[in-house]
Chains A and B, each alone.
Chain A
Amino acid sequence: MSWTKTTLRGKAFLLFAALALLTFSLVLAACGSGAKANGSSNNAGSSNISTSQQQAASTSTPGSNGIQNADQQVQNAIQSVNNAGSDTNNADATATAQGDTPQQP
């Protein structure tokens, strides 16, 4: 009788411990998903930035997309002009270094 009582107490303790562990795990999992949810919220924040940028673009004056595109094309063309100017300068430097005065061996 006494032996049976002791065994039952032990089993009850084990069950309690298992339940406590399960509860703790659930609490941890809940905290984790909360943190993840916050993380998602941060991402959503980033996406909000881009949305607000889009809103800024949409509140731009009509035709601004066209002019931005034109600006980009012209800036690229100007970059090519700059590069071509540098190439000319380099060619001049080579010409100066090599010289073209007839040299007789």
Chain B
Amino acid sequence: MKKFNLRHFSQQLATVGAIGVMAVAALIPATAFAASNSGTKCAKGDTKCVITVGDTLIANRQTSLNTLNGKISSDLSAHKITQDQASALQADVSTNESGLSSLKTKLDAETSTTAARIDVANIFLQFRIYVVVLPRDYRMIEMDVELNAKGVMQNVAPEIQAAINGAPADKQEQLKQLFSDYQAQVSNAESQIDTAQADFPGMTPENYNQNKTAYEANHKALDTALKNASQDLHQAAKDLHQMANIMGLPASH
């Protein structure tokens, strides 16, 4: 007869316990994730339930739009964007907020489950807040900021030129080369920003619904233009910084 070994048994128990804890730990987030993504399933004919779910979806979108609105206001206060740029963005936020608000009023008054479900579908189909509006509007802010940075770089160009003209002869050549590249980079950034501006009109919920492939190609082109503009602006800033370092150094004797 096999002798019962208490020490061996406790080791096995500990191993099984550890595996169990790990399994539960792995299951909890998976369950939570599934619940958050699948959403509530309402019983057939439960109009009230459908309305409640729709109201939550609308509230989430309203909150995200409010966050965007706050960002626009803070960027305006910090002079990162102009009043005109802010007004255009605020108008878009306002249009979406009032649209969602009207849809909520309609949804809340529905008496049939079918009508309520159509309203809920329209939260996605008509507004596309998360997949179109917010990505587009934050990119619009990004483009506006790039446009303004480009403006700053163009505005300081005469000052840079004057500084180069007054620089000692032994530094002139290097400064001229850097300034030439600076101007070329600013010009490249301007072209990229023009491209981005042309891409924005295609970023609509309608285009997303009708031809997602074309929409995504347009989205990608916009991203490329914004990224290229940013890189050009960074390179120009680097050139200027190098010029400032050269000019700021004590004159060689």
Residues of A within 8 A of B (CB): 56-57, 59-64, 66-71, 73-75, 77-78, 80-81, 83-85, 87-88, 90-92, 94-95, 98-105
Contact = CB atoms under 8 A, between A and B. Distances in A.
Contacts of B80: 80, 83-84
24 contacts: A61-B246, A62-B166, A62-B167, A63-B165, A63-B166, A67-B160, A68-B247, A69-B159, A70-B244, A73-B152, A74-B153, A74-B236, A74-B241, A77-B153, A78-B237, A81-B145, A83-B145, A87-B141, A99-B131, A100-B124, A100-B128, A100-B130, A104-B117, A105-B49
Contacts of A84: 75, 80, 138, 141-142, 145-146
Contacts of A67: 159-160, 163, 240, 243-244, 247-248
**Interface size classification for chain B:** 35 or more
B152 A95 contact: no
B55 to A, nearest CB: 11
A104 B247 CA distance: 65
Contact of B152 (A60, A66, A74, A88): A74
B131 A100 contact: yes
A80 to B, nearest CB: 5
A70 to B, nearest CB: 4
B176 interface: no
Interface in B237-253: 237, 240-241, 243-244, 246-251
Contacts of B49: 105
B230 A98 contact: no
Contacts of A94: 64, 130, 134
Contacts of B145: 80-81, 83-84
A6 to B, nearest CB: 79
Interface stretch (B6-14, B22-30, B34-42, B87-95): B34-42
User: Chain B CB within 10 Å — which of A59, A68, A84, A90 has the most?
Assistant: A84
B139 A88 contact: yes
